[in-house]
Amino acid sequence: MCHAILQDKSFYELLSRIDDELAEEARAGGCRCGARLHSARYPRKPRGVRREVIGADVRRASFCCEACRQRRTPKSVRFLGRRVYPGAVVVLATALAHGFNGRRLECLGELLAVPARTLTRWRQWWLTEFVATPLWSQEQGRFMPPPVIDELPGSLLDRFDGDASARLVSALRLVSPLSTVSEGG
């Protein structure tokens, strides 16, 4: 059952604890202007995972500077940008979907409640936008040999050590800077 991690409550609890650490790092760093950051968390309603698994009250950490009002959204292993599905679903479902035949893709989509066209869009994102990010330019050198672009994100998961859960967490940590926001207003 390759999708089991995505329906495992303890897995999301682990991700939540990592996000708390990432948020605390960002808060402790303060604002660029030198002032303190105040918590400005906001609710998220993740799709594709049951509420009893992911939690009924899911909140994304965010901060607001008490002086210049700049907002700072820290790195996250739970969310990948503004996507409504958790980052773990975006990574693992795309990896599993690649190379699967139509019937399996349909089955996977049903299990995760991710429409096939969404999976196709995510895959396009990995193959085009993700590989064009400064983050990827910087991180791909960590791996020898580098992950095969055409097989992302599965080829990335393959480069990490540990069980399926540990590999997924490592991949989510790698892409976590893509979810940061630091902007005025």
What residues make contact with Zn ion under the rule CB under 5 A? 31, 33, 35, 65, 67-68, 70
Rounded to whole angstroms, how far apart are CA atoms 119 and 134?
Answer: 24
The one-letter amino acid at 167: R
Closest CB 177 distance from Zn ion, rounded Å: 20
Closest CB 19 distance from Zn ion, rounded Å: 22
Cross-strand bridge partners of residue 170: none
- Of the pair 17, 32, the CB lying nearest Zn ion is at 32
- Of the pair 72, 98, the CB lying nearest Zn ion is at 72
Cross-strand bridge partners of residue 181: 73
- Of the pair 66, 110, the CB lying nearest Zn ion is at 66
| Contact of 57 with 43, CB cutoff 8 Å | yes
| Contact of 88 with 15, CB cutoff 8 Å | yes
- Of the pair 25, 106, the CB lying nearest Zn ion is at 25
Closest CB 69 distance from Zn ion, rounded Å: 7
Closest CB 35 distance from Zn ion, rounded Å: 5
Residue (of 180, 184, 153) closest to 60 by Cα position: 180
